[in-house]
A and B are shown apart, each in its own frame.
Chain A
């Protein structure tokens, strides 16, 4: 299916103007970054999510903005950053292992050209996700990254929500800034990410320090959450509906008045029903009847095929290995003629059907080892956020109160992503990998906080005898170091 070019929807002068605005904005952040190089990391996050070079038409498409931003972010960190607290964590190691494994499967990929195309963006997404936690070392940086993620996604969500309210929605009809189904500009992916970020948006209404809690912040957050909930409506992405359901269930844990919450959610749902278009009902009805929809019924076939494929290729077939599949099956085809609807069973042959699930995507492409690493990566994230939440909940001091709610929000984000990932091939989704980076940054930061506290407690509780022993040991170590240096000097 041919897609319209990125922004042919805008008029000529508007396109040039838009390009200039994007370039000015990028230049502005590059300039600000001269004082605080961490802003270049945020610039890359913004460019990677929103892809202004693909929204723009002429000038900006000629400039390698993504490369410039990554170069600035990396060099800024390497040469100008304090790097205090930067540590390489287990989850970064898992991402590195998965990246190297993907490279290894690429060497034996069945579909070399297609695999190389996918590898081109996957390695960049992984590399940045591995690098990101090294830069996120302070509370302000954690918040700044979360805010950049939210606002970059919000830029797409606001427009999509407004179009949906004004009646421009519909599956494969809703126009984004970029209409090539790539990255976050794919309707189900956008729905999943938008729903996953709702708890983070709520966090900003209470604990934000860049935009302090204020009625205007709350009003904007409410509007943004409403727009995010409209994404599955506007795009008619069924996965989005499942993500909303998952959000509702997960939110119960953090709600004090659960009965009231359930009643309000039910009431809101009932109020929303009359405003939903008929096409939405028709599409959502296919969730329960997968046999009546080609996209859903082939999913089951592809998943079965993938399990068989993985038993033959336990180490995976490389990127895009789904292209090897082909199914012939009989499915009902409805035809309406006047007032009569006839259902005819026809034989349909499908070839190269995508995995439609991150789990099967990994199983087919990277085999069992790749799937295990990926599951461990995300499972560990959920566990780490749970650990932080339990340890830091109930704190009321300003410097500590923000930790547990953010950990809870990021845990929900992970779980919603995992729900969405069961039905979409979004295993290497860059935005989600950035959320993983944010989780790692938060976990490392809190670990440092805890270790600094432990150090003080040890100092206070250590007996004078133990302190003397420690000092003596330090003195001896210092003297032996000194004598070793002296010996070296004499030998030289």
Chain B
């Protein structure tokens, strides 16, 4: 009986561990934490958006996308 109980408990513990570790292998967030990564990306985006270089880049982009004042629309 005692031997049987030992086998059962070993099987339960190892079975659950094996399953848990298999699930972990599939998870990207084991190595890269999504919460911290998101916050970092957000901080970087904020920094980029508020920097002089960022503002200039935005202006350039706007200028390229908007037609110059007085320019004639292209006839096709």
Contacts and interface: CB of A to CB of B under 8 A. Distances in A.
Given A452-B43, A459-B50, A32 B25 contact: yes
Contacts of A177: 6, 10
Interface string B45-75: 0110011110000000000000000000000
Contact of B43 (A82, A459, A464, A467): A459
B35 A9 contact: no
A301 interface: no
Interface in A153-182: 154-156, 158-159, 162-163, 166, 168, 175, 177
Given A39-B24, A147-B20, A210-B23, A459 B2 contact: no
Q: Which of B14, B22, B40 has the most CB of A within 10 A?
A: B14
Nearest to B14: A25
B39 A449 contact: yes
Contacts of A28: 18
Nearest to A39: B21
A180 to B, nearest CB: 16
Interface stretch (A59-67, A133-141, A304-312, A344-352): A133-141
Interface in A37-58: 38-39, 42, 46, 50, 55
A32 B2 contact: no
A184 B47 CA distance: 51
Given A144-B30, A152-B13, A159 B21 contact: no
Interface class of chain A by DSSP = helix
Given A39-B21, A82-B31, A140-B30, A158 B46 contact: no
A471 interface: yes
Interface class of chain B by DSSP = helix
Contacts of B24: 32, 36, 39, 140, 144, 210
Given A36-B24, A138-B33, A456 B14 contact: no
A214 interface: no
Given A29-B21, A456-B42, A85 B36 contact: yes
A141 B43 contact: no
Contact of B35 (A14, A29, A211, A449): A449
Contacts of B14: 21, 25, 155
B3 A9 contact: yes
Contact of A38 (B22, B30, B47, B52): B30
Contact of A168 (B2, B21, B29, B33): B2
Given A162-B8, A168-B2, A151 B25 contact: no
A468 B52 contact: yes
A256 B22 CA distance: 37
Given A158-B13, A163-B5, A36 B31 contact: yes
Contacts of B51: 467, 471
B36 A452 contact: yes
A6 B12 CA distance: 21
Contact of B31 (A11, A138, A210): A138
B16 to A, nearest CB: 5
B43 to A, nearest CB: 4
Given A155-B13, A210-B20, A38 B31 contact: yes
Interface string A109-150: 000000000000000000000000000011111001001100
Which 7 residue pairs spanning A and B have beta carbons closest together? A155-B13, A159-B9, A452-B39, A459-B46, A138-B33, A158-B9, A455-B43
Given A11-B3, A46-B17, A452-B40, 9 more contacts: A9-B6, A10-B6, A18-B10, A82-B31, A159-B10, A175-B2, A399-B35, A452-B39, A456-B39
Interface of A: 9-11, 14, 18, 21, 25, 28-29, 32, 35-36, 38-39, 42, 46, 50, 55, 81-82, 84-85, 137-141, 144, 147-148, 151-152, 154-156, 158-159, 162-163, 166, 168, 175, 177, 210-211, 399, 445, 448-449, 452-453, 455-456, 459-460, 462, 464, 467-468, 471
26 contacts: A14-B3, A25-B18, A28-B18, A32-B22, A32-B24, A36-B24, A36-B25, A39-B21, A50-B13, A55-B10, A81-B31, A138-B29, A144-B20, A148-B17, A148-B20, A151-B13, A152-B13, A168-B2, A210-B23, A399-B35, A445-B36, A456-B39, A456-B42, A456-B43, A459-B43, A459-B46
